[in-house]
Structure 1
Amino acid sequence: MTKKIHKHSQIKLSRGEPPNFSGQHLMHNKKLLRDMVNLAKISSEDTVLELGAGKGALTTVLNQKAKKVLAVEYDAKFVEVLKRKTAKQSNTMIIHQDVMKIRLPKEKFVVVSNIPYAITTPIMKMLLSNPSSGFQRGVIIMEKGAAKRFTSEFIRNSYVLVWRMWFDIRLVRGVSREHFSPPPSVDSAMVMITRKKEVAIPHKDYIAFLGLVEYALHKPNAPFDLALRGIFTPPQMKHLARNLNINKEQPIGSLDENQWKMIYKTMAQYVPRHAWPRVNKRNLGRL
């Protein structure tokens, strides 16, 4: 059978197969589903977005608590099951679409989902790379390796750092493969995401900050002094290292969000605008 490549995941899919289906594993453990909804603190005032709703095991728990549930599913067979299960629930809307092609709600919303593992990073970028969106918090089941990368103290990806300037991302716990059908070949984890009440960087400075971290985290193991060379002068670097309480040999990927806030503010105050690193427009389009 002819194969094609899904543009978001680079996973080979059979012709006619839904673009996100290869990474979808349906949850069936009722306690786990209730735990997710309780952790997300869903109330009668919340609009909840569920990405990859499957046969509705989570959907039918969410619509008992939420004001509105937007359940997104691509597989036509699952969509029919969802429609039957929620026929009497006026607060539930079934959206038959690829999760990567939907428009996020304009109002404030919460995400509670068991997302397709094959497109974990693209989904996270869709939710977190626009700090001025209505996304408030979320509880997401995802591949454990990705969860560890998104929550690691050592930051290797510029987009992960950008997310963490506006959102707290916490790995809550691992999730057994036995809770899924079919069982995934990789370990899973539950991740909690919460919008920060006090933002480290103003939303209007998003692009400028992204340019800085793309430049600096090009080689995350590079020493602090080397990673920021070309932006700051030697005296500025010395002053900055002292204020950050680090030595110039410390890997740039080991710095935390508060230190990055100070680096950005120093650049904004002392470095001429024309010398600021520019965002790679190709990468910006992928966020």
Structure 2
Amino acid sequence: MTDESPRLLGPAEIRDLAELLDLTPTKKLGQNFVIDANTVRRIVRVAGVQPGETVVEVGPGLGSLTLGLTEVDATVIAVEIDKRLAAQLPDTVRALQPDAQLTVVRDDAMSIRSLPGEPVRLVANLPYNVSVPVLLHFLEHFPSIRSGLVMVQAEVGHRLAAVPGSKIYGSPSVKAAWYGTVKTSGNVSRQVFWPVPNVDSILVSFTRHAELPDTEKVRLATFEVVDAAFQQRRKMLRQSLIPVFGDTQHATAVLERAGVEPTMRGEALTMPDFHRIGLAALAND
């Protein structure tokens, strides 16, 4: 990197910022900060971020990934719940990249409903404990997001990208598939974080469907079926769906209307299969 190149944060800068803010990373908030510039640039590259695009970042922390996004001339909307981090981030970015386009929104990523712009990508190092609900929340409420990449706990990432029939296929797999195509895009070493986590991380890419499968009403009905099917995943659908339909007789009738064998288990069904059950459930009301 030449002297004229924008600077990114390294281990020393991360620790200095943490000391400045009197910040002790907490497991509760999933605070593991990326300290390796090469990893940051790799994330931005794999995410496919283009100059001039508006990107939303969730949980920017001390700004490692934020600076990687602004380095390629993306306009960044950063959503940060921690007031100290939210207040410091503009100063950090301004000091290292004075011309960067950054807006910081102090809000809870689990409940935020509006943004000052229409991001076309989501790129984030998501806190391990809320990564799936945050991803699904943003896909639900911000339709301008067409694609993106998130770094999550490896176990969670594999679950998100799992296919029917695999042991790790479950509710997150189906719900993510409702919105788009999901795939894993490479592992991330524990050593690029401070503090070093006790779990492995993975990159997960997604591309939104050109059109959602159906209406919000149908999605809610479908997701209710999905949750019930995997709550008792070893049971046949006619049994696992009793909480939704009341008894095996009604569950069987809905499944047969959807063209799904009542003796199958949830782990064998595709997202379109669940969608048909959701439609049949509404027709049954």
Which range moves more in the overlay, 16-25 or 102-111? Answer: 16-25
Match of 2:210 in 1: 197
Which range moves more in the overlay, 164-173 or 84-93? Answer: 84-93
Q: Judge conservation of contact 2:86–2:105 (CA < 8 Å) in 1.
A: no
TM-score normalised over the length of structure 2: 0.72
- For 1:113, the aligned partner's letter is A
Match of 1:272 in 2: 284
Q: Judge conservation of contact 2:229–2:265 (CA < 8 Å) in 1.
A: no
Q: Judge conservation of contact 1:47–1:66 (CA < 8 Å) in 2.
A: no
Q: Map of 1:152-231 to 2, 5 A cutoff?
A: 152-153=162-163, 154=166, 155-157=169-171, 160-228=173-241, 229-231=248-250
- For 2:75, the aligned partner's letter is K
Q: Judge conservation of contact 1:18–1:75 (CA < 8 Å) in 2.
A: no
Q: What secondary structure, in the 3-state scheme, does the structure 1 residue paired with 2:146 have?
A: strand
Match of 1:143 in 2: 153
CA distance in 1, matches of 2:66, 2:28: 18
Asked if 1:85 is matched to 2:113, the reply is no
| Ranges in structure 2 where 5+ consecutive residues have no aligned partner | 1-22, 242-247
| Ranges in structure 1 where 5+ consecutive residues have no aligned partner | 1-15, 274-287
Sort the Cα spacing of 1:254 and 1:203 in 2 relative to 1 into closer, same or farther, 3 A: same
Question: For 1:99-141, what per-residue CA distance to the aligned partner results, in whole angstroms no more than 9, with x for missing partners?
Answer: 446444262431111122233234234223x266333222111
- Count matched residues: 249
Match of 2:118 in 1: 107
RMSD between aligned residues: 3.2
CA distance in 2, matches of 1:218, 1:140: 26
Percent identity (aligned): 22
Match of 2:49 in 1: 42
- For 2:273, the aligned partner's letter is Q
CA distance in 1, matches of 2:199, 2:118: 35
Question: For 1:7-48, what per-residue CA distance to the aligned partner results, in whole angstroms no more than 9, with x for missing partners?
Answer: xxxxxxxxx978886411111222221221122221234211
Match of 1:259 in 2: 273
Match of 1:70 in 2: 77
- For 1:146, the aligned partner's letter is V
Match of 2:3 in 1: none
Compute the displacement of 1:78 (Å): 7.4
Q: What secondary structure, in the 3-state scheme, does the structure 1 residue paired with 2:157 have?
A: helix
Asked if 1:133 is matched to 2:140, the reply is no
- For 1:255, the aligned partner's letter is L
Which range moves more in the overlay, 222-231 or 37-46? Answer: 222-231
CA distance in 1, matches of 2:224, 2:201: 32
Q: Map of 1:53-64 to 2, 5 A cutoff?
A: 53-64=60-71
Q: Judge conservation of contact 1:172–1:192 (CA < 8 Å) in 2.
A: yes
